[in-house]
Amino acid sequence: MTSGIEEALSTHTATLGDIDVTYSRSGTGPAVVLIHGLAEDHLSWRKVQEADLGVTTYAYDLRGHGSTTVGTPDGSLAQLRDDLIAFLENVTGPAICVGFSLGGTVVLSAAAVRPDLLPTVVALGTSSVVGRGAASFYAGRIELFRGTDRAEQRDALRADTAAALHNPASDVDAVTEARIAAVGDAAGYINASTAMAALVESPLTPELTKIGSDVEVTIIGADHDSFCPKKAADIILGAVEHAAYAEITDAGHLMLVDQPEQTVALLERIIGH
C-alpha cells in the first residue's frame, strides 16, 4: 500500500443471505455504494475509490462476479435488487447508490421498493427495458458461457468490450482481461444476463414511477454509447419525471474507461461533500 487515499482502501467479506459478498472500502464521510456492470467486479470502480470525493465508498462484487459467491441464483433482477438491499441493511445503512449498466438497473429497482435506504441514486449507462435484439444477444451469450469453449468465450468478451469503447486510447486487451477475471466460472454472468434478458417481457420501467421526489435521481449517459443510447435514458426520465440527466462526451458505454477523469469529476459534483 501507498500513502494517501490508496492506503485507506481495504477489502472485506460479508455473509448476506446465501452469498459471501466481497467489497472494497475507501475514504471517509457519507456512505456511497458502487454497483458494477455485467462482466465486471468492484475493481472497475478503482478510479472513483482512489479519488478524494469526501465520501466513504463501498464497491461490492455482484452475485457470482469477482470474488462474491453465486449462492443459489434464480436469474431475476429482484434477487440482485435484494442483494443490494441486504448490503445496505447490514453493511452501510442508507447510502447514495451509484450503479453502472446492470448495476444502474439494480439501483433503480431497489429505489422503487426501498427509498428509505437509497436517498440518492445515480445510474450510468442504464436501461430499464431491453429490445428483442438485446434479448437475443443475452440468449447467445448465455448459451456460449454455458459451454466449455474458453477461446470463443474470450473472443466474445473482447468483441463486446471493443464495441463498448470509443476512445482509441482505451486499452481493449487490458479491459478484456479484467472482465474475464471478473466473469470467472461464468455462473454470475449467466445469472445476470438472464435477469437482464427478462426485461424484454417484463420491463422495469413501470416500477420506476414509484420512485418519489424524496429520492434524488441522476441518469448519466455517454454520447457514443451504442448499448444504452440516449433513448434508454429518455425512457427512464419519462418514468422518473424529477430525475436529472448529464452526459459524458467522447465516450462509449464503458465511460469510466474511456473518460475516467470526466466521469469522476461528474460524480464528484453529484455526490461529493
Domain limits, the chain: 4-271
Quote the DSSP letter at residue 270. Answer: H
* The three grid cell numbers given for residue 245, joined into one nine-digit string: 440527466
Mean pLDDT of 248-259: 98
pLDDT for residue 52 = 87
Q: Residue 4: pLDDT band by 50, 70, 90 thresholds?
A: very low
SS3 of 172, please?
A: helix
Strand 10-16 relative to strand 120-124, pairing: unpaired
pLDDT for residue 8 = 78
Mean pLDDT estimate for the chain: 95
**pLDDT tens per residue, range 170-202:** 999 999 999 999 999 999 999 999 999 999 999
* pLDDT > 60? residue 3: no
Q: Measured on CA atoms in the order 246, 26, 29, 104, is the torsion positive or negative?
A: positive
Distance CA(184)–CA(192), nearest Å, equals 14
**pLDDT tens per residue, range 125-174:** 999 999 999 999 999 999 999 999 999 999 999 999 999 999 999 999 99
Distance CA(25)–CA(35), nearest Å, equals 13
Q: Residue 272: pLDDT band by 50, 70, 90 thresholds?
A: confident
* Predicted TM-score (pTM) of this structure: 0.96
CB neighbourhood size of 192 (10 A): 27
pLDDT for residue 89 = 98
Q: Is-contact 91 26, C-beta < 8 A?
A: no
Q: Helix-strand-coil percent breakdown of the chain, rounded to 5?
A: 45, 20, 35
Strand 96-100 relative to strand 56-60, pairing: unpaired
**pLDDT tens per residue, range 10-49:** 999 999 999 999 999 999 999 999 999 999 999 999 999 9
* pLDDT > 70? residue 88: yes
pLDDT for residue 273 = 55
**Highest CATH level, class, for 4-271:** alpha beta
Distance CA(50)–CA(117), nearest Å, equals 25
